[in-house]
A = this chain, B = another copy of it.
Amino acid sequence: MKQREEKKIIIIGAGLVGSLWAVYMAKEGYKVTIYERRSDIRKTVISAGKSINLALSNRGWKALDAVGVGDEVRKFAIPMYGRVMHDTQGMLTYQQYGNEDQAIYSVSRGLVNARMMDMAEQKGNANIFFEHECRNVDLEKGIVYLTNKQTGEQFEDKGELVFAIDGAFSAVRYNAMQKIDRFNYSQNFIADGYREILLPANADGTYKMEKNALHIWPRGRFMLIALANNDGSFTCTLFMPHQDHKYSFDKLTSKEKVNGFFKEVFPDFYEMLPDIAEEWAKHPLSSLAIVRCHPWVSGRVALMGDSAHATVPFYGQGMNAGFEDCTVMSELIQKHGSNWEAIFEEYNRERKPDGDALQDLSLENYIEMRDLVGDPMFLLRKKIEAKFSSLYPDKWMPLYSQVTFSSIRYSVALKQGAIQREIMDKIMAKADINETWDNPEIMDEIISLCE
């Protein structure tokens, strides 16, 4: 730990990002107190109810490794090297995500969060107070108004700085920041919800499907996905409109209808899980929202992670983006030292466009996952891109790789992705592309379009 006068900071929220940020701030010589609304998940049964298995990728690992906690997570992370698409006949198609050694990693949200809390306490010397609710914050003074939910006691605490890392429906943002003049805010629920389904292991503990891939059943307007757990099971998630569609959640009102739906549209899945209707009832139907706001800082307070830029999960970047907020803020500490006015100002100015871009990318990728990956022409497009990229890596990194396997700013990736899409639209518009795609002339044409 650096030799510096120990100053106290407060973190609201002991979630994934809050716990990691505690480690960062402890390394910078700050004394860290965390207040968390929920009880200690390490002492209770982890609810898989609203978890969505998470996919850790480059940005996440970078932030974890920078403070030496990556290896703790690697112990239980399962690499996924590509997507396996399941069509309505149960036929499988495989699409590799990047190079052969590039993978995204399936991890349980609960498990990562529990280990991050350990790290916050052990490496960050943080005191975590559970079941403490933040009622309000004095943004200028850094005073946090709290309620101990077990005793009902109301009290206040004061930090040099306060980091509001308390999630998509942040109490700090709602109770304090939303009330300041000229605070822009939006919460926008998309038309689709999700429901989790657990696909158990075989009786001998083995996996029912390839574990090192992300499984997708793309069905146009909706999709099912599955990510492996360490115990041989898969956490599966059905994403679908709430209502107003031929296939929507409001139509699945009985066991018979759930069974009929899975038999019809996911027959190979139904075969693996014939008691789907029982599993169906174990998890609630949940909603999905994009939350945008600005500014992300006010007085002594900064929003990080979902409280600043909650997104829909379709690019698997929510946690990764939150972890990357730590990387960004940490780099600004290296640049500005303890001049937090400068740090907050630059964080607010420079990181916000990346939060917006992350959200745009997440929405775009839902269409790719649920619809396009089932289209042979789309897979051909990706194959041509991959070939060009391997021949001319300096000229072309596929958008998925920019987002997932690099630290290129999300806002830059979004722009580059749009340029690439325009180029590939021209290539794919060629009448004979199915026959000619592997010819050198196609590569030459892409080069000329790149210039």
Contacts and interface: CB of A to CB of B under 8 A. Distances in A.
Interface in A24-68: none
Given A181-B287, A287-B181, A188 B186 contact: yes
Interface string A182-210: 11111111000000000000000000000
A185 B183 contact: no
Nearest to A292: B186
Residue from A182, A184, A186, A187 with most neighbouring chain B CB atoms (10 Å): A182
Interface string A164-191: 0000000000100010011111111100
Interface residues of A, number: 13
Contact of A189 (B183, B187, B189, B287): B183
Interface in A274-294: 287
Nearest to A181: B287
| Copies of the chain in the assembly | 2
Contacts of A287: 181-182
A170 to B, nearest CB: 13
A185 B182 contact: no
Contacts of A189: 181-184
A183 B189 CA distance: 7
Contacts of A184: 186-189
A181 B186 CA distance: 14
A195 to B, nearest CB: 14
Nearest to A188: B184
A186 B187 CA distance: 6
Interface of A: 174, 178, 181-189, 242, 287
Given A181-B189, A185-B186, A186-B186, 16 more contacts: A174-B178, A178-B187, A181-B287, A182-B189, A182-B242, A182-B287, A183-B187, A183-B189, A184-B186, A184-B187, A184-B188, A184-B189, A185-B185, A185-B187, A186-B187, A186-B188
